[in-house]
Amino acid sequence: MIDIACARGLSALPFSLFLLLQATGSVYGADLKSYAPQVNVDCPDSLLRVFSASQQSLSGGENDFVSSRQSVVNNAWKDWLGDASQIGYNSDLATSVVNDSKVGIAVSGGSFRASLYGASVLNALDARNQSSKDAGTGGLLQVSSYISALSGGSWMVGSLYSNNFPEIQALVTGSNELSGWMLDKDLFFPDGISLHSDENDAFYDNIKASIEAKQATNTFTSLTDPWARALSYHFLNGTTPDNFYAADSAHGAGQLWSEIVNVPAYSNHEAPFPVIVVNSRPLGKAYENYLALDAPVYEFSPLEFASYDPSLSASINTKYVGSRLSNGSPVNGSSCMQGLDETGFVFGTSSSLFNSIVSQGIGSVTNADWFKRITDLFSDVSDARDTEPDDVANWPNPFYQVKGDGFVDTDRDWLQLIDGGSNGENIPLNPMFVKSRGLDVIVAVDSSANTDDAWPNGESIIYSQNRTSNILKDTHRAFPPAPKTTAEFISTGTNMRPTFLGCDAVSPSDYPLVIYLPNSPPLTGGDPVTNTDTFKLEYSANHVQMFLDQSYRNTIGGFTPGSNNADANFGKCLQCAAVDRARLRADIERSSFCNSCFDRYCYDPNDPPSSNEVVNRNLQNTKPDDVSNSASGGDSDGAMVTSVGWGSVVLAVGITVVSGGLL
């Protein structure tokens, strides 16, 4: 049996055999130890790409992908828009005007809530679902060139690509081929409430085996590693209900983010270019609440680990991320690393919230059984040589002394990467605003829990406006006009229904149009089941389906001012928004149909909408079925805490913020 973990570093393995292994069963021969990276492998000729804010560029591979994807997208526009007469345009809109227009979808964090909400929204935008196509919303996913995600959103996106981009219902709840997410198995006590049942113990032993294998390569580990491994059981495709506790299955270990390029949906350009966002805790920057906005933001695509921030503007080949470089060059010809980009570790890093949990003393979490179990497990495997902190994800710094003092971590051996929403930007918009990517339209999918009832209040958009205009003005597009405070988000009702931002651009280059889709109560006035607790780590099958259905109906339903009826035209209005930059570029007048859509759905700063239009919404969460045997707390309302990643955890009174200190 060939161990693929070795095979990856073994250049002698014929490429065709490697492909065969890929095709026949993911990582054939992979086991729990495949979680370990390979160290001291040969370095490729080109590892690092260093550019600058004024001379920004994308990788050749990304340019190639997006341009090949564009011909798929151009056909998808025709499928979605037909002859465009339903939205009041001539047929050349769909067959030429809109060609090469670029759309992106950004999926927020918020733990399992965000995975489920993001999945429902994608389903509603997916032309493969006939009800979505009939509603007119299904098709937007097919015309998208990019999809970005962070934290809970990245679990969903990681899952999509690892499973070859299946339809959403099958991805989440399973099919003949897929096991689904199995969210009825608690993330940390999959066997139920008995904390030390044989199965729960086996689960921890198996996680431990992976971490020990990684440590044996002298690669520093942290709490993010057991976290990443536990998530992989649900979101990667190596685990089934039958093998859940088996020690002879890899449970996703050895599945790499850089190998997504071999997944057919990617290599055939049938899916958008995926990007996962992470934040970093710069040297000497302890923080409470949110990270400062000047802390570098990074992204992982299957091709590059990069930051387009002006202070860095550099990237490394994802396949070799972890390689130790100095001044941009390998320390020696065989000092490179491969396999640190485990898909589980990438989305685990994007949701690595331990620094906030610990520094804010989130008692409902630090006192929870799962947290104790994971810290115990970690101290059990912890290695004395392991000198990096436990509360972040530790990645060797490929950008060591590449950029000089402008880059805050230039002199650091390790980057401390953390939850992608740690700076308050819980929707991963940074990659979407990168100038060289030239996006026209961006869908912002928001399931942050900002309000007492765990709904978004636009806070993420407020932070994005700030970062875009103060930190990123040389490297990123301008932000469209949007409410300037969370109070204004609420008073205009922008957080309660779909809203288009930036409808009145004079030139397509002013700013992209943003379609904001907040998780919000059922438009029918029904009882909500989608504003769940961020730390709810188990969902019954019944709740999962209710969640999917409810947010799906909201997404295809738009809203009708002063009413609890769905808007039968919402799908067409979404089409109007999606083509509007291309229309402007071609200097075609907006159709009267689209004008009426824009009257309803646009945020116009000079004539803002009002929350009075959104009537009879029931804000309070309904628990479809209290999961009383849940070991991680199930549906408990757990004391909610100050805003931190995972989609911002709600602020409640009476929480003592314990001062810092690493684990």
Q: Residues in the site for ligand NAG, rule: CB under 6 A?
A: 25-26, 40, 71, 74-75, 95-96, 99, 123, 129-131, 162-164, 167, 169, 237-238, 263, 292-293, 324, 331-332, 334-335, 466, 548-549, 552
Q: Considering beta carbons, is residue 302 or 634 the nearer one to ligand NAG?
A: 302
Query: Within 10 A of 15 (CB to CB), how many other CB atoms are there?
Result: 8
Min CB(333)–ligand NAG separation in Å: 8
What residues does 41 pair with on adjacent strands? 336
Q: Residue 297's closest CA among 453, 155, 433, 206?
A: 433
Q: How far is CA 356 from the centre of its chain?
A: 19
Q: Considering beta carbons, is residue 80 or 552 the nearer one to ligand NAG?
A: 552
With residues binned 3-state (H G I as helix, E B as strand, rest as coil), the percentages for the chain, rounded to 5, are 35, 10, 55
Q: Considering beta carbons, is residue 267 or 612 the nearer one to ligand NAG?
A: 267
> 350: which 2 tokens?
């994007």
Min CB(299)–ligand NAG separation in Å: 20
Please say whether the beta carbons of 544 and 533 come within 8 A: no
Q: Considering beta carbons, is residue 237 or 643 the nearer one to ligand NAG?
A: 237
> 95: which 2 tokens?
């067959």
Q: Residue 235's closest CA among 89, 381, 111?
A: 111
Q: Considering beta carbons, is residue 25 or 60 the nearer one to ligand NAG?
A: 25
Q: Considering beta carbons, is residue 99 or 436 the nearer one to ligand NAG?
A: 99
Q: Considering beta carbons, is residue 162 or 307 the nearer one to ligand NAG?
A: 162
Min CB(8)–ligand NAG separation in Å: 15
CA-based torsion, 575, 579, 581, 585: positive or negative: negative
Min CB(319)–ligand NAG separation in Å: 17
Q: Considering beta carbons, is residue 286 or 662 the nearer one to ligand NAG?
A: 286
Return the SS3 of 41: strand
Min CB(230)–ligand NAG separation in Å: 18
Min CB(296)–ligand NAG separation in Å: 14
Min CB(396)–ligand NAG separation in Å: 10
Query: Within 10 A of 222 (CB to CB), how many other CB atoms are there?
Result: 27
Quote the Cα angle for 240-21-248, to 5°: 40
Residue 145's φ and ψ, nearest 5 degrees, are: -95, -25
Min CB(138)–ligand NAG separation in Å: 9
Residue 75's φ and ψ, nearest 5 degrees, are: -70, -35
Residue 182 φ/ψ region, left for φ over 0, alpha for ψ in the -120 to 50 degree band, beta for the rest: left
Please say whether the beta carbons of 111 and 151 come within 8 A: yes
